[in-house]
């Protein structure tokens, strides 16, 4: 199957996409991994991407689309794939349509992980890191043994600027603004299926499997 998994930051896309891809025996195509692989292999597009990444800049759409096209053209993706982290915008979605058409393929479904804003805030603002050994914790799901202290080296844990509530709210607002047209694009084509992204990992995965199999109705209008 050829699937796209969408969801806001903190929705758990990476974990769920890996499980879904493993169950379907198809590659999990994550943009971050794809970029790192292309850079490590020093492909022409990877060399272009590296320049932007080293400057801390966003990799332009044309390079990202080229990388996605290269990855989906590889032999292991002929049977299908689970795309995670792409597309993020309507322009990328339209480019993906063109890439797949050139390969003689089409998407089977686009699954959107729905998670409430309070839950996303809880997940994203709860992270704490050790400035010494870089160990990562979460106040709810993975707390340190001693509150506020690293289990490994004992240093005081800190909250990254990216994880503050104000920053997280801005990230979520930008995501919602960019993604609304994308969701409508797939809804109009009858490809969009919404799955609750809160609860136990195995329960969410079961819902994703049902959506992939078409046992979840396509999302209607109004969102």
Total Cβ atoms within 10 A of residue 217: 9
- Name the nearest CA neighbour of 204 among 9, 16, 67: 16
With 0-12 CB in 10 A as exposed, 13-18 as middle and 19+ as buried, what is 208? Answer: buried
Helix 90-102 with 61-72: angle, nearest 10 deg? 30
- 112 contacts 83 by C-beta, under 8 angstroms: no
Catalytic residue, from 79, 160, 170, 188: name it.
160
With 0-12 CB in 10 A as exposed, 13-18 as middle and 19+ as buried, what is 16? Answer: buried
The rounded distance, in Å, linking the Cα atoms of 126 and 120 is 10
- 168 contacts 121 by C-beta, under 8 angstroms: yes
- What is the domain partition of the chain in residue ranges? 2-212
Strands (E), the chain: 2-6, 28-30, 81-84, 109-114, 127-129, 136-138, 192-196
13 is catalytic: yes
pLDDT in tens, the chain (223 residues): 999 999 998 899 989 999 999 999 999 999 888 888 888 888 899 899 888 888 777 788 899 999 999 999 999 999 999 999 899 889 999 999 999 999 999 999 999 999 999 999 999 999 999 999 999 999 988 999 999 999 999 999 999 888 899 999 998 998 898 888 999 999 999 999 999 999 999 999 999 999 999 876 776 643 3
Q: What pTM does this model have?
A: 0.84
- 125 contacts 112 by C-beta, under 8 angstroms: no
127 is catalytic: yes
171 is catalytic: yes
Catalytic residue, from 18, 36, 50, 88: name it.
88
Catalytic residue, from 50, 122, 169, 171: name it.
171
The rounded distance, in Å, linking the Cα atoms of 106 and 102 is 10
The rounded distance, in Å, linking the Cα atoms of 116 and 197 is 9
88 is catalytic: yes
Q: pLDDT value at position 54?
A: 80
CATH class, domain 2-212, is: alpha beta
**Beta bridge partner(s), residue 196:** 114
């Amino acid at each position: 199957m050829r699937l796209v998994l969408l969801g806001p930051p903190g929705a758990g896309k990476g974990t769920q996409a890996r499980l879904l891809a493993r169950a379907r025996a198809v590659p999990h195509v994550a943009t971050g991994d794809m970029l790192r692989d292309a850079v490590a292999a020093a492909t022409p597009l990877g060399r272009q991407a590296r320049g932007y990444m080293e400057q801390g800049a966003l990799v332009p759409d044309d390079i990202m689309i080229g990388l996605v096209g290269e990855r989906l053209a590889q032999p292991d993706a002929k049977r299908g794939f689970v795309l995670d982290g792409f597309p993020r915008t309507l322009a990328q979605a339209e480019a993906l349509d063109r890439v797949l058409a050139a390969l003689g393929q089409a998407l089977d479904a686009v699954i959107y992980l729905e998670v409430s804003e309070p839950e996303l805030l809880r997940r994203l603002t709860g992270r704490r890191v050790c400035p010494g050994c870089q160990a990562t914790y979460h106040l709810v799901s993975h707390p340190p043994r001693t509150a506020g202290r690293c289990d490994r080296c004992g240093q005081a844990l800190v909250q990254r600027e990216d994880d503050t509530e104000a920053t997280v709210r801005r990230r979520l607002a930008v995501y919602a603004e960019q993604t609304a047209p994308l969701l409508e694009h797939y809804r109009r084509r009858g490809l969009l299926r919404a799955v609750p992204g809160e609860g136990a990992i195995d329960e969410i995965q079961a819902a994703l499997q049902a959506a992939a199999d078409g046992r979840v109705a396509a999302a209607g209008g109004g969102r």
